[in-house]
Structure 1
Amino acid sequence: MSFWKFIKNEVVEAIDKAITGLEPYRYGVLPTKRSIRLLSMEPDEEWTYSLSMSIFELDKAPPFSALSYTWDTPHQWPHLEENCSTTAWDRFEYWEKAYSRSMSFKCNGKRIIVRPGRNLDEVLTRLCNAGETLNKCEYLWVDAICIDQADLDERKAQVLLMADIYKRAETVIAWLGEDLDDTARGIQALDKLAEIPFAKHKEMQNLSLREPTTYKALGVDPIKREDMSCLAGFLGRRWFNRVWIVQEAVFAQQILFLCGDYTIDPKTLFNVGKLLCLSGWAQQFMDTSIQFRDIRMPPPGAVATLALMREELNGERQSSLLNIMTSTRSRQATNPLDNAYGMLNVLALVMGKAPASLEVQPDYKRSVPGVMEDTTRLLIRHEGNLDVFHQVQDHSVLCSWDRPGTSFASWTVHWGERMEPQPFKMLSQFSTAWKPSGSMPKEIPDTHTPHQLTFRAACIGNLQNIEDTYYLLPQVELAVELSGRPYGVRTKQGLSEILWRTTLADCAGPQHPAPAGLGDSWVAHMLDQHHTYSKGLGGGTAWRNEQDTHLQRLLDQMRVTDPETKFPTVEHAKTVLSAMRGERGADPMRKWSELQKTAAPVRPFLYAANQCRKIARTDNLLTLVPKSTKLYDSVWIVPGLSTPFVLRKSKDYYELVGEAYVHGIMRGEMAKDLKFDTITLR
């Protein structure tokens, strides 16, 4: 501890002692590695309640409950559960400040400061007032108080013991926070959704949660949009998306969900979460309010993850370590190290090992890159393959841990970073359909050298042209450049079709390959973009004429080299653009509306899947690559993996840039011609 931090703590304790009149509580050393502290509570006239803390051996401890809660504010979008007109950010900022202050707790006649402590104080007050109604056990385990947070060695030992603590607990009390003005409406919507038979989730995929006829077809009372918004706010509470609550929920023998005055049946909550995700309604939640456009996962998704994880650990389902880490990726944590440490007990259970025997151990003195690298290596060794490559984040968005002075392996996954721009997040469902290496099985890499991976891979070429997917005219030029010789593999498709399918990674949501009609939609989008681009940058008639000439040259070349192209004739393109400018008495708004309608189907997939990607040429193949790709990076195929990868040469080793989509080879069309070399990644 630094001198100034020591002085600050002394001053704070002196002030707090003057206010409370209590000496600070001093933690002693726990006798053994399986020792725990438990709390008992009793009413206190001055403090509302007072705590008594005792030490027990976990295996001989009396019956106790364990508390699961968030240390800071429990609210993420409180305005959705409040009857107020203030903005979302104002309400969040208000609650963030309200819950950030430290609280003093009376324990064994002394004082313990918890920072922040308001949320904990609220639930302890409720438990004390309710008596055995909510907590039938005399003792309670609370991590913030029962663990000496200043002792890093004790924190390490207790983290490894948490799975056993939550297993031994008679009940895990999941405190979601105090209820707000309209929380009841959200819970009522939850109960209505619970009445929908789970077997109808496929039927729900074709229904809108906004349409009254939907609920009639499902046999339940209609749910108002406002009530659904309240439910979104409820399911968006921070408890559901914290990394530590995963093990707290999945190891619990029995869970009691508390939200202010309300108790929620865990079966109802988990079933509705799964129902909303399997039906696709979770995504419709995103449309209930604008703030959902930038969240880590749809609110029901976090609930469904917990439900599925409980089933897996109870033997009802089976999953790999990679799937478990992927499903909990980017959950919120105060310390990014906890995105790894918070999952160690779950990983140990799946591996059939004791948590203390894992090669990754809780150590809060370590760097984030080092812990993330060791966690990634743990998964590679256990899985026996390199599937983890599909989870590596695009280097262009790593900001919270890619700091000067820190080093990390390019193949390391940061389990606290959300996947955006996603490594083909939308395309994960097609992993069984794609196999560019053909029938080759996955191979075990060499992981013994720190910071390195050694494995076999085949290079299919260097990237010679790279263009942003947002600007389509340079892409057309790129396609025209391919016309000098046949496309690299036989696809029975024209160059324009190859171009738009590459831009979309040949996917449209759940559809693969993308429907042919998107070709016309993509061309309409290209013409609209050309019109907007030439009109918006100024330059008047001369500028527009220059852009039109440029477009005409490209279309002429495309027509000659690709007679079956989806691109319009030059005459048609000029007619469309002329009408959109209001020339020759045309109605520009009508023409623009027609073009927008035609272009509409392709736009969600362009923006959602590829807005942060680039299109490139590898020899005579078109490739979709990560945004951080540079000229002369190379594309490689790894045995058994579902996509090729972009690698960057650096001295005698390579760096992993990210996944690639190479049109025409994703199903092993080039497999027999591949030549594999042994390479090293750092």
Structure 2
Amino acid sequence: MTEAFDRRTKSTSPYSNKPLGHDDTRVLHLAPGADDLPLTGSLQVVALDQEPIYEALSYEWGSPEKLHKFTTTDGYVIQITESFHHALRDLRHREQADGHRVLWADGICINQDDEVERECQVSIMGRIYRQAQRVIAYIGPEKDGSAAAIEIACKLWQLHHNPGELDIDDLDVASLKEAGLASRDDPGWAALKPRFLRSWASRCWCAQEFVCNEGLTMMCGRTVLPTWEILPGLVQLCFSRQLPAALLPNASEDTRSVGECLWSLLRLRRALIPRSNAIEYLLTRFHPFQASDPRDKVYSLLGHDVDSTYPGMPVDYTVSVEHLYTKVAIRILKKHNDLRLFNSNLHQKTLNLPSWVPDWSRWHFGSGPGAAASDRNLRAAGLTECRFTIDEELRRLEVSGCLVDEINWVGDKILPYYITHDGPPAARRKRWIEQQLEVLRNLNQRVDGISDSMGILWRTPIANTTHHETEAKDSYVRFFNAHVDITDDTPEEQKDMARRFCDVARWRSRYRSLTSTKLGYFGAVTQTAKAGDIVCMFHGGRQLFVVRPKGANIAFVGHAYIHGLMRGEILKAAWYSERTFTLV
């Protein structure tokens, strides 16, 4: 037991007589009671080594205001948030006839006013959730027709997993009736979108709690979902176009990227149970999730990381976010000796970080796997190995590579032309494509033997990658042609091809603009790039990168796709010259 844990108020705190050792925690014995009765129960200190029996509650903190009360059986009052209040009331209701329910919940089981205790408990949070009998993911109270929405969601999930019963990809009037689903004017359908917007799924602590225990129950109010997969699974089905995308909120409605978070939860849970992963993988996969304290983007993952690179990393809320992120980035680079870290380096930052260190606190809708940073089919630096040195004091990264070319033109953002595959945007897109072809024809397109303007144009917005995440062969031009020539009368098969091409262009180029270089190369660069920036190849890198001169050094700007230079061609070019870059 640490001396710090003895610093308690003597008679006004329910934690005074219940100090914790390093392997101890508290559990809550939640007393039964009707809705009109106050929340009551008792706290018990338990040793995790003795494998106590309890359920772990995962819920969104929501507003930090503590407007509700929980009264312990020995007379102490603990102020709790509204979201926690709802969770306890709904959990208590389910156990009215069965006595006390034994729970672990951070809002009560950790003394939130004791910073030392909080840091110690955060450091063993993963263990607390793994050892629980099960984790209860409480996604919020019953409101705004959530019960009816969940009923529809369960039916959709059931229909999808009974192939041959019904094709539900259109959900037209006839198919709804045949499936036994409510008509589209039923309030349950309107209530479905808000279920995908509940922000519990976007919180990093909720996410790590969601994936660390094989036993998981999801609750909305007092409704228990048949399986945790339903909501994340429906998002995945919409993303893959097996269900209508209109079931999900659009980007302007989903400002927290909750849809992407739900999709990430599905893949994370399937990947992590029953094993853990190294923190560099987790940081990438957990990037979409949010935290009120940006340091929790790292600390919330330590319970999963069993990699020897991070033994004893302390949970320390006195260090700055910038110091923590830089320290983690350096460890990742040194461990792997590759540049995969750059895949998390998105196009804008809010923290004062070295340009080469990812800002894990910030996320942009549509920046997940499959986006511009996806490098599965690329190998710009061939089979070369990464070579770098780090000056930790100056926070500088020196990396070997080759200067490719200077950007001399940056065009329109690509995304507005690929919001959808049909309707008015299709006509604007066709005119825009004709304009880009004219740009290409005016370039010196015979550099290194490249002269196919149309081939360059259709491959660039999709980074030469199909919707199946494979390299785009010549035959994929059919998908491009379908999206250029689409009309209301286009056959459904070609409309589907057009939609597939637009989906891929949107995934790869959501935050990109077309560009050309002084040597006459054509490509797509991060939308924050500008004329005068430099395209570089770094040894060991699958991508090409845009950098910005800073005196004798450079600053990292973002990823680049330069057609004809993404498969090791630079190493064979007459102008190839190795040099060392200093990123600041």
TM range (shorter): 0.7 to 0.9
Deviation of the 1:635 alpha carbon: 1.0
Q: Bigger shift: 504-513 or 372-381?
A: 504-513
Distance in 1 (alpha carbons) for counterparts of 2:100 and 2:218: 16
1:487 aligns to 2:446 (yes or no): yes
- 1:681 equivalent in structure 2: 583
- 1:338 equivalent in structure 2: 296
Deviation of the 1:645 alpha carbon: 0.5
- 2:232 equivalent in structure 1: 273
- Structure 1 counterpart of 2:449, one-letter code: R
1:367 aligns to 2:320 (yes or no): yes
Deviation of the 1:518 alpha carbon: 6.7
**Cα pair 2:387 2:539 within 8 Å, conserved:** no
1:648 aligns to 2:552 (yes or no): no
Q: Bigger shift: 653-662 or 151-160?
A: 151-160
Match runs of 1:57-206 below 5 Å:
57-60=47-50, 62-72=52-62, 102-107=67-72, 108-114=74-80, 117-131=81-95, 139-196=102-159, 198=161
- Structure 1 counterpart of 2:539, one-letter code: P
1:453 aligns to 2:352 (yes or no): no
Query: Could you give the per-residue CA deviations for residues 480-509 of structure 1, whole angstroms, max 9, x where no partner exists?
Result: 5424xx532223513x55345435544565
Deviation of the 1:367 alpha carbon: 2.6
Deviation of the 1:660 alpha carbon: 0.3
- 1:616 equivalent in structure 2: 515
CA spacing shift, 1:122–1:467, aligned 2, 3 Å: closer
- Structure 1 counterpart of 2:105, one-letter code: V
- Structure 2 counterpart of 1:644, one-letter code: L
SS at match of 1:277: helix
Distance in 2 (alpha carbons) for counterparts of 1:256 and 1:504: 39
1:502 aligns to 2:460 (yes or no): yes
Deviation of the 1:356 alpha carbon: 5.8
Distance in 2 (alpha carbons) for counterparts of 1:113 and 1:248: 23
1:416 aligns to 2:379 (yes or no): no
SS at match of 1:453: strand
Match runs of 1:489-638 below 5 Å:
489-494=448-453, 497-499=455-457, 501-503=459-461, 505-506=463-464, 509-510=467-468, 513=472, 515-516=476-477, 609-610=508-509, 612-618=511-517, 619-638=519-538
CA spacing shift, 1:468–1:335, aligned 2, 3 Å: same
- Structure 1 counterpart of 2:87, one-letter code: V
CA spacing shift, 1:157–1:524, aligned 2, 3 Å: same
Of 15, 22, 41, which residue of structure 1 is paired with 2:30? 41
SS at match of 1:120: helix
- 1:252 equivalent in structure 2: 213
Deviation of the 1:425 alpha carbon: 4.4
Of 309, 329, 332, which residue of structure 2 is paired with 1:376? 329
How many residues end up aligned between the 2 structures? 538
**Cα pair 1:487 1:621 within 8 Å, conserved:** no
Deviation of the 1:659 alpha carbon: 0.4
CA spacing shift, 1:423–1:35, aligned 2, 3 Å: closer
CA spacing shift, 1:505–1:49, aligned 2, 3 Å: closer
**Cα pair 1:286 1:298 within 8 Å, conserved:** no
**Cα pair 1:426 1:509 within 8 Å, conserved:** no
**Cα pair 2:413 2:527 within 8 Å, conserved:** no
- 1:230 equivalent in structure 2: 191
Distance in 2 (alpha carbons) for counterparts of 1:285 and 1:368: 40
- Structure 1 counterpart of 2:562, one-letter code: V
Distance in 1 (alpha carbons) for counterparts of 2:147 and 2:237: 25
**Cα pair 1:637 1:645 within 8 Å, conserved:** yes
CA spacing shift, 1:655–1:523, aligned 2, 3 Å: same
Distance in 2 (alpha carbons) for counterparts of 1:282 and 1:27: 55
**Cα pair 2:56 2:134 within 8 Å, conserved:** yes
Deviation of the 1:320 alpha carbon: 6.0
CA spacing shift, 1:452–1:172, aligned 2, 3 Å: same
Distance in 2 (alpha carbons) for counterparts of 1:676 and 1:414: 29
Query: Could you give the per-residue CA deviations for residues 254-290 of structure 1, whole angstroms, max 9, x where no partner exists?
Result: 223222221123xx33266347526745785642365
1:305 aligns to 2:264 (yes or no): yes
**Cα pair 2:29 2:42 within 8 Å, conserved:** yes
**Cα pair 1:172 1:254 within 8 Å, conserved:** yes
1:426 aligns to 2:371 (yes or no): yes
1:393 aligns to 2:295 (yes or no): no
**Cα pair 1:386 1:445 within 8 Å, conserved:** no
Of 195, 201, 214, which residue of structure 2 is paired with 1:240? 201
Deviation of the 1:58 alpha carbon: 2.5
SS at match of 1:432: coil
Sequence identity percentage: 22
Distance in 2 (alpha carbons) for counterparts of 1:519 and 1:138: 59
- Structure 1 counterpart of 2:79, one-letter code: I
Structure 2 stretches of 5 or more lacking a match? 1-10, 415-431, 489-494
- Structure 2 counterpart of 1:409, one-letter code: P
**Cα pair 2:389 2:398 within 8 Å, conserved:** yes
CA spacing shift, 1:234–1:503, aligned 2, 3 Å: closer
1:665 aligns to 2:565 (yes or no): yes
**Cα pair 1:394 1:421 within 8 Å, conserved:** no
Distance in 1 (alpha carbons) for counterparts of 2:17 and 2:241: 48
Distance in 2 (alpha carbons) for counterparts of 1:475 and 1:325: 37
Deviation of the 1:70 alpha carbon: 0.9
- 1:295 equivalent in structure 2: 254
**Cα pair 1:193 1:272 within 8 Å, conserved:** no
Distance in 2 (alpha carbons) for counterparts of 1:207 and 1:490: 48
Q: Which has the larger radius of gyration?
A: 1
- 2:4 equivalent in structure 1: none
- 2:8 equivalent in structure 1: none
- Structure 2 counterpart of 1:389, one-letter code: F
Distance in 2 (alpha carbons) for counterparts of 1:236 and 1:64: 30
- Structure 2 counterpart of 1:173, one-letter code: I
Alignment RMSD (CA, Å): 4.1
- Structure 1 counterpart of 2:345, one-letter code: V
- 1:541 equivalent in structure 2: none
Deviation of the 1:169 alpha carbon: 1.8
Distance in 1 (alpha carbons) for counterparts of 2:221 and 2:365: 35
- Structure 1 counterpart of 2:122, one-letter code: V
**Cα pair 2:218 2:225 within 8 Å, conserved:** yes
CA spacing shift, 1:66–1:606, aligned 2, 3 Å: closer
Deviation of the 1:328 alpha carbon: 1.9
CA spacing shift, 1:297–1:663, aligned 2, 3 Å: farther
Task: Please state which structure has a larger fraction of its residues in helix.
Answer: 1
- 1:569 equivalent in structure 2: none
CA spacing shift, 1:286–1:363, aligned 2, 3 Å: farther
- Structure 2 counterpart of 1:410, one-letter code: S
Deviation of the 1:644 alpha carbon: 0.5
- Structure 2 counterpart of 1:634, one-letter code: I
Structure 1 stretches of 5 or more lacking a match? 1-21, 74-98, 526-589, 591-596
CA spacing shift, 1:659–1:181, aligned 2, 3 Å: closer
**Cα pair 1:385 1:445 within 8 Å, conserved:** no
Deviation of the 1:181 alpha carbon: 4.8
Deviation of the 1:160 alpha carbon: 0.9
SS at match of 1:145: helix
Distance in 1 (alpha carbons) for counterparts of 2:277 and 2:241: 22
Distance in 2 (alpha carbons) for counterparts of 1:469 and 1:43: 58
Deviation of the 1:622 alpha carbon: 1.2
